Amino acid sequence: MTGWRVRDYAQDDLEALIRVDMESGTTEEPPLFPLSDAVTALQARHPAVVATADDVLIGAAVSRVEGERAWILRICMAPAWRQRGLGSALITALEQRLFAAGVRAVHAVLPEGETGATALRNCDFGARPGLVFFEKRGPVTPQSAGTLSSLGAELPPGGLWQKVAGMQREKRLIERRLVLPLAHPELAAQHGVELPRAVMLFGPPGTGKSTFAHAIASRLGWPFLELFPARLAAEYGLATGLNRRFDEIARLDHVLVFIDEVEEIAGERGGADATAVGVVNELLKAIIRFRGQDGRLLVCATNNVTTLDSAFLRHGRFDYVLPIGPPDHTARTALWKSYLARAGARADSAVLASASEGFTPADIAHAARTVSQAQFERTFDTGTRTIPTTDDYLDTIRDTKPTVSAAMAQEFAQQTEKFARI
């Protein structure tokens, strides 16, 4: 005598099944399928069986059928009934119902050693130890999806962080100060590290500030939302628009908010008209509210940090004020290498890096694109594939005016000395 009876699941078994499921786990690993998936399958009347002893539910097996395949979502047993053959009885009864319904293959994924693993082997389920289970969870909940869509947010593609060529010094600084604490908040908390909420990036035009903002969002897997002050001003008036937009942002779970050329709305208030003063005040209040929630990061960028209102950069508003300057020789070499590889060019990246001193990443991208376009047109006209050389790039570099002049570079160095907070 087994001491139990196996039967089909009935709707009034749900409460007892959930209770047994909560007692059933034998490992610390969470199940692949959450309990909500099993409940949904039960409500949709997918095949499921329960075992009872003296009219008390002591075990269950729940499945979900997908065409000719079925997944076992749950195998749960009361602790007192383990290792007595109950798991095998539940699985046998469930698979009989599945095969009778036309299912050709039954699958189950369990943590090693979890309740039901031995029973699956006893029922001739073959384990495939060479497989690795991969999982990626999206950052957007159904509740946030509508708000993100209405705000015009985007989910950056994965891999943008890895595609940021050169700029290794800035990249390392941003990863360690911003990305790592936000990606590993529990570890950060163990070391007393406060999660960053807002960061200011400053530097000459074209140095990659917006590129870094997108890459940070991609690295974290968070939605990216850029605020455009001109649009807010046109819709509501700028001060009101900022207030409304940050109220909407507060409803999101995770988001990176980016404001480019923030000096346009956060300039020095001394001598400004009442409207401009009101805008700065509203933005300062919005930042304080923004900092009160987890799972978000405000990234502001400016070409000239000296034009910002002094209150804007005080401690407690921005965690870091990071300089993003023109790439040095090493960074320019790395940038050129990435473009040369893409074009299949036979050129010396170190020579090009020396010749392009003062170039920003945007300048280098423009020069590389110009050479590639010229070679493409030459190949099209002649019918013969032409490979760009070092001289081709040097000619283009000579014709390209650097974005950052010597005076701008000196001014940036002075701003870094005075304002950088890393």
Helices (H), 205-311: 209-220, 229-236, 238-249, 274-290
| CB distance 307 to 264 below 8 Å | no
**Mean pLDDT throughout 280-305?**
93
Q: Is the pLDDT of residue 192 over 70?
A: yes
123 by Cβ neighbours in 10 Å (0-12 / 13-18 / 19+) ranks as: middle
- Taking phi over 0 as left and psi of -120 to 50 as alpha, with beta for the rest, 193 belongs to beta
**Mean pLDDT throughout 165-189?**
93
Residue 270: predicted pLDDT: 66
Mean pLDDT lowest among 270-279, 316-325, 331-340:
270-279
Residue 77: predicted pLDDT: 95
- Domain 142-325 belongs in CATH node 3.40.50.300: yes
Residue 103: predicted pLDDT: 92
Residue 272: predicted pLDDT: 62
Residue ranges covered by each domain of the chain: 5-122, 142-325, 329-403
Residue whose tokens read 């999982």: 135
16: confidence class by pLDDT, cuts 50, 70, 90: very high
386: confidence class by pLDDT, cuts 50, 70, 90: confident
| CB distance 38 to 121 below 8 Å | no
What's phi and psi for 300, nearest 5 deg? -110, 150
Q: Is the pLDDT of residue 1 over 60?
A: no
Q: CATH topology for 329-403?
A: Helicase, Ruva Protein; domain 3 (1.10.8)
Q: Is the pLDDT of residue 246 over 80?
A: yes
- Domains 5-122 and 142-325 belong to one CATH topology: no
Residue 143: predicted pLDDT: 72
Dist. CA 78–CA 61, nearest whole Å: 12
Residue 342: predicted pLDDT: 92
The residue ranking higher by pLDDT, 272 or 297, is: 297
397: confidence class by pLDDT, cuts 50, 70, 90: very high
Question: What is the edge-to-edge ordering of all strands in the sheet holding 48-53?
Answer: 5-8, 48-53, 56-66, 69-77, 105-107
DSSP SS3 for 234: helix
The chain-wide mean pLDDT, for the chain, equals 91
pLDDT tens digits, one per residue of 87-146: 999 999 999 999 999 999 999 998 888 888 899 999 999 988 888 777 766 667 777 788
Question: What is the edge-to-edge ordering of all strands in the sheet holding 296-302?
Answer: 224-226, 255-259, 296-302, 198-202, 320-323
DSSP summary character for residue 30: P
pLDDT tens digits, one per residue of 52-83: 999 999 999 999 999 999 999 999 999 999 98
CATH number of 5-122: 3.40.630.30
Cα-based distances in Å from 288 to 194, 282, 293, 400, 422:
15, 10, 10, 43, 20
What's phi and psi for 117, nearest 5 deg? -65, -45
What's phi and psi for 34, nearest 5 deg? -65, 160
pTM: 0.72
H/E segment holding residue 107 = strand 105-107
